[in-house]
Structure 1
Amino acid sequence: MGKVQITKGKFAGIQACADDKGIIAAAAMDQRGSLKKAIAKARGSEASNSDLTAFKTSITRVLTKHSTAILMDPEYGLPALEHKAPGTGVLLAYEKTGYDATVPGRLPDLLGEWSVRRIKAAGGDAVKILLYYNPFDDKTVNEIKHAFIERIGAECVANDIPFFLEPIAYDDAMDEKSLAYAKAKPKYVTAYMAEFSKPQYGVDVLKVEVPVNVKFVEGMQVFAGEKAYTRAEAAELFREAASVSTKPFIYLSAGVTDEVFRETLELAAEAGTPFSGVLCGRATWQDGIPVYGEKGVEALEEWLEDRGVANVKALNAILAQGAKPWWTVYGGKDQIEVV
């Protein structure tokens, strides 16, 4: 296999989000509408935009001391980035939060006042896009999504900045918490990892779901009683999904608890999956939302310094044991030619 050429900007941007061993241990703090609702629920009254910024600032101030990068939205999070630890990489979200539920297909849209050039100028080391994607959806819907990702990939190439893509599998005909969906999920995740590894999309790092729902894995601590797969079968599904990716990939926490996410990563490591780290959001800090809602910023930061930091350190310990450098998929760092 010949050397892989990666441009200076893209290489530097990915490395800015990783540690010196090539492992990405990033915090996710780009939640917008869902976070506002959660704060309002905890408080028992409406949450404001300034609440979002205050919450994001606390997370940034405390957790970036233990993270290689932070994922932020440019709508409410830019002031928070002024409080990040030195040397922490910055990923900025480019998509609007959520999707238009009145139109079939969960079609994506971009923040109207932003571009990749503006994200880079605002201090972004990388661009992140979340895309709801059903590989087996109507062909017309997926062609729109494919063209959408191609355009963003081209925009990132033009600005020489890495493109982190977060595909989220779905099927509107199934409950995503059901046994039926748990059985279908590996096929969906594997298919999108193969699709978005294709060169026309210009994706540099895939931020993906794990291919199983661990609550349906027999033998896991969180096993709920209904079996979709044995532990050995689940490990094989991890390997199958990983095998189709020709891009570095990291796992997202997808809103599970920190204990569940850690156990999931232990299974990924046990399977020998060459994941290059995580982008972990709610698993780390979601229990701090009621603290902030009821008691305010100071109480939140106390909680973060205690439980939040403990969550991140426990996660980092698993990454130290199981994660592989992002250049592993290319055969090693010496197989990359920076141009």
Structure 2
Amino acid sequence: MLELTENKRAALERLSDENGVIGALAIDQRGSLKKMIASGSANNVGDEGIIRFKEIVSDELTPYATSILLDPEYGLPAAKVRDKNAGLLVAYEKTGYDATAVGRLPDLLEEWSVKRLKDAGADAVKFLLYYDVDEDKKINDYKHVYMERIGSECVAEDIPFFLEILTYDASNDDVKSKEFAQVKPLKVSGAMKEFSKPQYNVDVLKVEVPVNMNFVEGYGAGEAVYSKEVAAAYFKEQSEATHIPFIFLSAGVSAELFQETLKFAKASGSTFNGVLCGRATWRDGVEPFATSGEQAGRDWLQSTGKGNIEALNAVLSETASSWFEKVR
């Protein structure tokens, strides 16, 4: 079980519902969100547009979320308009990675520290790490040391450390391919085993589901890589790969597929503890905001966006396990 200090436990409770389930809204996207807004806009909205979109998402949707994940570069104004009952996670990493360098190495926001994020109101700190368990040892050792440093910072400030892991294959850049789908389960579970070790001081893992659901028999339109039975076994194996709380990210899939995935995870015996769901909830609201203005964006969020998050909450109430059972 995970040992929590009194302050860390109180912070996790602020990020969760009364049952110990995390139903968090993620909008810490930066470069990708700028591109989404710019592609739908006749005007160059720039920084002002991304800041404003985050604000209206926070204003309209946090009444239905247990917490919100934002970035300190564009998201802190949105933190101020969130619902009073919603906790705050703040990202600590630079957006994206240097595609010209080998290893997708991690990089911190230079103007920030865990102390400064905490002083800005964060209940927890999130860091995104790209990780291939089978990559060159020198690269992975670098990443291990980096995560130890961040974990130590969080221990010093007595604030929860959420580690988001995106897996990849150093020998195959196409993470949507059949070939990557075949190796993904071992990549995901291997990463979770590594970063559940005590030296990293991770309190919650934010992870992908262990399979690409588009390649699961009966879920995708193309050729199946996994039968339902094999996919279920991978969900169970993933759950058993860690003793600490873990939550799922939506990875940009549709709201409907993400909800079906959570049901599949529960039926497979997964003891996941909630979600940090972003684009699956608000992605289609970018276009009306960018093309028709703020009110059109609000109208979409008040109808379809609200519907997406309420439907997700209903599924969570039936599928997610309490993190209370994994800590002491």
Give the TM-score taking structure 2 as reference length: 0.98
Where does the alignment leave 5 or more consecutive residues of structure 2 unmatched?
A: none
Report if aligned partners of 1:43, 1:294 keep a CA contact under 8 Å in 2: yes
Give secondary structure in 2 for the equivalent of 1:140.
helix
Give secondary structure in 2 for the equivalent of 1:5.
coil
Moved more, 4-13 or 147-156: 4-13
CA shift for structure 1 position 225: 2.2
Give secondary structure in 1 for the equivalent of 2:40.
helix
The partner residue of 2:132 within 126, 131, 134 is 134
- Detail structure 1 runs of 4+ shifted over 2 Å in the superposition: 44-47, 327-330
Report if aligned partners of 1:53, 1:80 keep a CA contact under 8 Å in 2: yes
Report if aligned partners of 1:274, 1:328 keep a CA contact under 8 Å in 2: no
CA shift for structure 1 position 15: 1.1
| 1:269 aligned residue | 266
Structure 2 CA distance for partners of 1:172 and 1:44, relative to 1, 3 Å:
farther
| 1:121 aligned residue | 119
CA shift for structure 1 position 328: 2.2
> CA RMSD, aligned part only?
1.0
> Does residue 307 of structure 1 match 2:269?
no
> Does residue 84 of structure 1 match 2:82?
yes
Report if aligned partners of 1:23, 1:276 keep a CA contact under 8 Å in 2: yes
| 2:229 aligned residue | 232
**Partner Cα separation in structure 2 for residue 42 and residue 249 of structure 1:** 35
Report if aligned partners of 1:94, 1:111 keep a CA contact under 8 Å in 2: yes
**Partner Cα separation in structure 2 for residue 235 and residue 42 of structure 1:** 39
| 1:101 aligned residue | 99
Report if aligned partners of 2:15, 2:123 keep a CA contact under 8 Å in 1: yes
Give secondary structure in 2 for the equivalent of 1:6.
coil
> Does residue 198 of structure 1 match 2:197?
yes
| 2:31 aligned residue | 33
1:223-302 equivalence runs, <5 A: 223-302=220-299
Report if aligned partners of 1:277, 1:323 keep a CA contact under 8 Å in 2: yes
> Does residue 160 of structure 1 match 2:158?
yes
Aligned residues: 327
The partner residue of 2:314 within 314, 317, 333 is 317
CA shift for structure 1 position 261: 0.7
| 1:333 aligned residue | none
Any idea what the Cα deviations from partners look like across 1:296-335, whole Å, max 9, x if unmatched? Answer: 11110110000000000110011000100112234xxxxx
Where does the alignment leave 5 or more consecutive residues of structure 1 unmatched?
A: 331-335
Report if aligned partners of 1:90, 1:126 keep a CA contact under 8 Å in 2: yes
CA shift for structure 1 position 14: 1.1
Structure 2 CA distance for partners of 1:317 and 1:144, relative to 1, 3 Å:
same
CA shift for structure 1 position 173: 2.2
**Partner Cα separation in structure 2 for residue 246 and residue 45 of structure 1:** 49
**Partner Cα separation in structure 2 for residue 294 and residue 4 of structure 1:** 47
**Partner Cα separation in structure 1 for residue 241 and residue 42 of structure 2:** 46
**Partner Cα separation in structure 2 for residue 101 and residue 206 of structure 1:** 25
| 2:63 aligned residue | 65
| 1:110 aligned residue | 108
CA shift for structure 1 position 4: 5.4
Give secondary structure in 1 for the equivalent of 2:205.
strand
1:148-227 equivalence runs, <5 A: 148-174=146-172, 175-220=174-219, 223-227=220-224
Report if aligned partners of 1:57, 1:79 keep a CA contact under 8 Å in 2: yes
CA shift for structure 1 position 172: 3.5
**Partner Cα separation in structure 2 for residue 276 and residue 107 of structure 1:** 28
**Partner Cα separation in structure 2 for residue 82 and residue 244 of structure 1:** 37
**Partner Cα separation in structure 1 for residue 258 and residue 281 of structure 2:** 9
| 2:20 aligned residue | 22
| 2:9 aligned residue | 11
Aligned-residue identity in percent: 51
Amino acid at match of 1:181: F
**Partner Cα separation in structure 2 for residue 99 and residue 300 of structure 1:** 30
Report if aligned partners of 2:135, 2:170 keep a CA contact under 8 Å in 1: no
**Partner Cα separation in structure 1 for residue 242 and residue 145 of structure 2:** 20
